Structure formats: C-alpha cells, structure tokens
Chains A and B, each alone.
Chain A
Amino acid sequence: MSTTEVVTSRKLKGKDLITIGIFSAIYFVINFIFMLAAALHPIMWILMPGFIALFTGVPYMILASKVQKAGAVLIMGLISGLIYYATGMFTVVILITFASACVLAELIRLATKYKSFTGNSISFAIFSVGMIGSPLPMWLFKESFFEQISVQTGQGGIISGNYLSILSGLATDGMLFVLILAPVVLGVIGALIAKALFKKHFVKAGIV
C-alpha cells in the first residue's frame, strides 16, 4: 500500500499557465477599454494609467493570490505588451516602462514571499505605473514632439501661438507628477477595492 501526498510545486505548471492566460485576458480587456477612452481628451490620456490601476486591481490581485509563484505577473505583463505590440499600439517607450514595471513588481512579490496582501498591493501599484509610457513621449521628446506639430501647422500656413502654448501647457512638470502619482494612489485604492471584494465574495465562495 502506498500513500501519495501531493506537494505544491514552486515552478509554474500547466494549470498555473492557464490561470495566468485567463486573468491576463480580463486584465487586458479592462486596460484596452481605458486605452480607447484616452482618445477622448489629452487629460484622459494622462490619467489613463491611474484609471487602469483603479479597475484592474481585482484581476491582478486574484492572479497574485491564485498563482503564488515567480513569473505570474511578468508573464501577464509580457502578454499585454505583446498583444499591444503586434497590433501596432505599443511604442518603444511604453515597452520599456511596462517591462521594467513588471520586473520590479515581480521582485517585490519575491521579496514579500507572494502571500502578503501589502506586498501584492505594492507590486500592483508599481505594475500600474508601467502604463505611463504611453503619454510619456510628450515629456521625453518634448522638443521634437512640439517641433513636429509646429512644423506641420507652419506648413499649413497659420501658426496659432496660443494653441501651441496650451499643448506645451499640458506637458508640465506638475502634470508629469500627476501622471506618475495617479497610478500609485489609484493602484493602492484598486488593491483595497480588490481586498473588499475578496472578503465579500471570493474568499467566502472559496475560490482563492
């Protein structure tokens, strides 16, 4: 007579990979909705990383608690990045910020041993900051960005100085601060919402 007890493996197994895939899909859909909403107004664009952080807390935290192993968050980030890249929507800048945020988030999970809620929340806030790469070229390539616009309008004949100043008015240090801080603050709030829903639903129903 033999008795077999199953020990949870620390490496990602088939089921983990599938769980990551499914929750990445939910994450991506929410992310994509706000990516589209960002087209409405430049302000929406700057606040986009924040909004995404607020609403993706639930899928992120569920994934983090269902797959308490190294790599889950990194793969989720890579998947989103790859889909955005293959559809032509990710540029080099966001790829860099997004990838570094994923790695940092993963490191924080490692340091906090995957189980701690605080650790996961911090990693989520950092993960969310990755999306700032989308509007960031406004600051990074400030000169060429506005030069291009003014050259273009210049060729068109009339330069509206007022219009240019409003544009550059958005790309201020203050706004940059908002851009970076929003996902951190809203990310923490998103994680707290997730915590509330965990308590109300997911733990009670026994899925995490």
Chain B
Amino acid sequence: MITINNVSFDYNREKNTLKNINLYIKPGECVLLCGKSGSGKTTVTKLINGLIPHFTENGRLDGTVVAAGMEVAKTELYKLSKKIGSVFQNPKSQFFNIDSDAELAYALENMGTTPEHMRERLKDTVEELQLEQLEHRSIFTMSGGERQMLAFASIYAMNPDIYVLDEPTANLDENAIAIFRHQLEELKRKGKTILIAEHRLYFLTDLIDRAVYMENGELVSIYTRDEFLAFSDEQRIKMGLRTLRADAFHATDFPMLSSANVLTVKDLCCEIKGSCIFDHVSFHVGSGEIVGIKGNNGVGKSRLVRCICGLAKEKKGSISLDGRPMTRRQRNKECFCVMQDVNHQLFCDSVWNECELSAGDYREAEIETVLRAFNLLGYKNVHPMALSGGQKQRLAIACGVLSGNKILVFDEPTSGLDYDHMMAVAGMIRELAEKKHIILIVSHDIEFLNCVCDRTITLTFNELQPKDNGGNRL
C-alpha cells in the first residue's frame, strides 16, 4: 500500500532531516511511528500525504514514495487526498466552517461527490462513529476532543484507503483518547491502512501491527507488535518512549507538608453566563507542594485555575494566601500561569528581554542564573518565537520564576511531549517546589501526574449532573 524507497529529505538544503528511509506497509496494516521529538516522525507522515514535496517550499527530496498506487511526488495533492486522509495534531486549526454539519461534508464537497452519495456517506459516518452528539453544533462550542473527533470524522466520510495520523492525541484527554481508539478499531475492521505518529502509546498497544522506531531522521529499527510490547521499562525509557500501559492513577494522598504559606480555596463557585460550572470547591495547598488537578473535560479545571490566578471572577467563596483573602488584582500579582499555548504569553523580541520584563529592575545576575538552569542562556538573543516548543515552555516557566510569584500554575504542560521532555518538565517543577513555590498542575496526562504530583484533587460535576462520567459509551 505504501512504499518508501530510499528517501532522503531536507527542508532547507543544509542538513538532512530524513536519511535513507525504506519502509513498506502492507494493505490493512497499522504501523506506529515512534521516537523522540525531532526524530523525523512528522516528516515521514508528510512524505505519504504529499505535504512533502507539494506543500513544503524549497525542500529537496531524493527517492520515491508510492502510496495507494500513486507516486506521491508526481501526483497532485487533490488526487492524493481522495485516497489518503490526514488528521493533524492541533484540533484548533483543521476547520473551514463554523458548524459541524458543514465541516463533516467539507472534504466530500471538495471532491465533487453527488449530493445523494454524500448524504449516504454522512449518514453512515455519523452512525459508524456514533457522532450524534456532534451534529448541528457550532465548532466554537466544542472541546478540543470533540473537535478532533470531528476532524477525524470528516476524513472518515471521504472513505480513503490510507489514514495518516500525526500526533492526533496530543491535545486529548483520556476519554477522548478512548473514543479515538474505538474509531481506529473501526478502521482496522474495515481493512484500512493506518500510519500513526505518536508519543502517547498506551492506547495503541493492541491496535498496531508493527512499530517503527526513528532517531535523528533515520529509521533505526522495525518491531513486530510482540517485540514492541516485550520491552522492559528500562529499555523503553532508554529509547525515550512513553509508557505502554494504561497507568492506574497512583499518586498518593500525602498529608499537607507544611502549614506556613498556605493557599486556601474555600467554597469557590464559578458561573458562566448564569449557569454554575462548579460549586463548593475547597482545598489547601502548602508551600513546596505539587498538587495535580484532574477531572473530565468540561468540568471546569481551566476555569478553576483561571479563577485562582484572578483572571476569572468567582461567584462566591474566597481564595486566600496565609489566611489573607486576596482580591483578583492581588491574585494576578501572586500567581503565574504557564498556559497551555505558551505562544500567547511571550511578548518580547528576545529571550533576555522576556526575562527582564518579568524580573524588573536590573537583576542581571539572577536572570543569568535562571536562564542557565533552564538551559536557555545560549539563546538569550534569540527571538522567543524562533525557539522550539519545549524551549518556549521553559522560557515561560523561567519568566514565572523570575517574576517572584509565589503560586505557579501549569495548564496542560505536557501536551505533545515525548518521554524525555516530560521528565524534564517534571524535574523542573520539582525543583521549583523545593524553592517553596505553591504549585498547581492541571493535566489529564496520568503518566505525568503520577511522576510529579504529591497529591491530586479531582474536580467532578456538581450535583445537578450525573456523577458517573467515567464510562464513555462510545
């Protein structure tokens, strides 16, 4: 189905991003591409869906790729798109319509399918993927998981032979991943060929036929499923891969470590447009503690931390530090939030200036220490937006540290991170805890929460809604 024959590729004629890739994928096979960030996984997916060479300017491609009987480099993208469907990492940037119905039909409309056939395909898609709750909705009221489901469905409606998936779960929570897993099973049953590049592996273990391990743009080895699953944890960690098991949550519920400098949230209640999101939320976090906040999508985790940071208004309740209730303005000053999309919080024209903005008056020595600790000193004159995703995140954390704020909040700090980067973030957070910061982490990444948190708080829906949201029917 897919043949990659001796392919090398580079984006800018300097260094080879991919070196001598050879891969043959049989029809109906499900192949996992794994490896550390920057190992070339995404680039391989682009070879197949035609983004290389058609969409990437100034690149240089050697070798041939044949997919679904077409030579990719010599076939127009729209012809490839009929047989090869692609789903990408970011659920925010895959939409061309405001409502879900239009989006679902979009790819079919582009192909010029007859209305009758289109109606049939749409009906089948909704039934087979059980998407009833996504119909007739505005995309802007959907969660990231729902958006990703819809993006997948609009490809499914086209009924391609090959599915190319580039980190499709990077922004999804457990439930959404479970749904996605079921959708992949459906594809396998239909005999579709699947190529998936992923960091999170636990949900794929019984779906994949083979796993391809990549390193520095080279295809290092190909494992059968049994070989892949037989890896010891030690081996897996050495390869920089994330866990292969669906971990149970095991962070223990330690008693609070210290009684000084305590963040106290009491009876907090938040509303959006008059409807209650959560009510009677109370907890304490001591200084030097790392507390995870988990809960299903839509339960108001982000709202809770926005409220703690003073970015959203509380309806009732209080948030106090050391027994002093804080106004919203005071909370703005005491808290720093490393946002899910750090691109929104970097404003300056160089790493150094970014730090100065946070640190204020001439604390050069301190900035230097922090930058060194975060491995960014060598980049001090670089524009923050020219950094890699992980570096940007580190810079945002560095700014939080330099601002001297007591309370540090992390909103989904590990979306799309490989094992090494995840552990690096965990290490950084632990160091901050040792410096007596109060640390809150919102995340649905259980592997990560397990290895960093002292304890966790689970936010559940308020009484008005059914408590049992764990079992997903999809």
Task: State the majority secondary structure of interface residues on B.
Answer: mixed
Q: Are A3 and B61 in contact (CB under 8 A)?
A: yes
Q: Are B385 and A4 in contact (CB under 8 A)?
A: no
Residues of B with C-beta under 8 A to A207: 385
Residues on A with C-beta less than 8 A from B60 are 3-5
Residue of A4, A14, A200, A204 ringed by the most chain B CB atoms within 10 A: A4
- Whether the pair A2, B349 counts as a contact (CB closer than 8 A) is no
B386 touches A2 (CB 8 A): no
Beta-carbon nearest neighbor of A18 in chain B:
B96
Q: B58 an interface residue at 8 Å Cβ cutoff?
A: yes
- Binary contact readout B52-63 vs A (1 if CB under 8 angstroms, 0 otherwise): 011111111111
Tell me, in angstroms, the Cα distance from A207 to B384 when the chains sit together. 12
A1 at the interface (CB under 8 A from B): yes
Known A-B contacts A1-B63, A200-B349; A6 and B53 likewise in contact (beta carbons under 8 Å): yes
Q: Which chain A positions have C-beta within 8 A of B53?
A: 4-6
Chain B interface residue bracket vs A: 20 to 34
In the complex where A1-B6, A6-B57, A15-B55 touch, is A201 in contact with B349 (Cβ < 8 A)? yes
Q: Are A3 and B62 in contact (CB under 8 A)?
A: yes
What separation, in Å, do the CA atoms of A3 and B9 have in the docked complex? 10
A-B contacts, CB under 8 A, total: 44
Query: For residue A8, which residues in chain B have a CB less than 8 angstroms away from its CB?
Result: 57-58
Interface string of A167-208 (1 = CB under 8 A from B): 000000000000000000000000000000000110011110
Contact B349–A6 (Cβ < 8 Å): no
Chain B residue with the shortest CB-CB distance to A206 = B386
A residues with a Cβ closer than 8 A to B are 1-6, 8, 14-15, 200-201, 204-207
**Smallest distance from the beta carbon of A28 to chain B beta carbons, Å?**
16
How near does chain A come to B17, taking the closest CB pair, in angstroms? Answer: 14
Starting from the known contacts A1-B64, A6-B56, A207-B385, 4 additional A-B residue pairs (CB-CB under 8 Å) come to A1-B62, A4-B53, A5-B61, A6-B59
A4 contact from B6, B57, B61, B77, Cβ within 8 A? B61
Chain A residue nearest to B386 in the complex (CB): A205
A-B contact pairs, 17 of them (CB 8 A): A1-B63, A2-B62, A2-B63, A2-B64, A4-B53, A4-B61, A4-B73, A5-B53, A5-B61, A6-B54, A6-B56, A6-B59, A201-B383, A204-B350, A204-B383, A205-B383, A205-B385
Contacts of B384 in A (CB 8 A): 205
Can you name the residue of chain B whose Cβ is closest to the Cβ of A199?
B349
Per the bound structure, the CA–CA distance linking A8 and B61 in Å amounts to 15
- A103: min CB distance to chain B, Å: 28
Minimum Cβ distance to chain B for residue A67 (Å): 12
Pick from B56, B57, B386: contact of A204, CB under 8 Å: B386
A-contact 0/1 string along B1-44, CB 8 Å cutoff = 00000100000000000000000000000000000000000000
The 10 closest A-B pairs by CB, nearest first: A205-B385, A204-B383, A205-B383, A4-B61, A4-B73, A205-B386, A200-B349, A6-B53, A4-B53, A3-B62
Within 8 A of A (CB), among B276-315: none
A3 and B386 CA atoms in complex are apart in Å by 30
Q: Does the CB pair A204–B62 fall under 8 Å?
A: no
> Chain B residue with minimal CB distance to A6?
B53
A6 touches which of B58, B62, B63 (Cβ 8 Å)? B58
Query: Across the two chains, which residue of chain A brings its CB closest to B63?
Result: A1
Considering the complex, give the chain B residue whose CB is closest to the CB of A14: B77
| Nearest CB in chain A: distance from B289 CB, A | 37
Bound Cα distance from A207 to B343, whole angstroms: 14
| Chain A min CB distance to B395 (Å) | 13
Q: What is the chain B residue whose CB lies nearest that of A21?
A: B96
Residues from chain A with Cβ under 8 Å of B58 in the complex: 6, 8
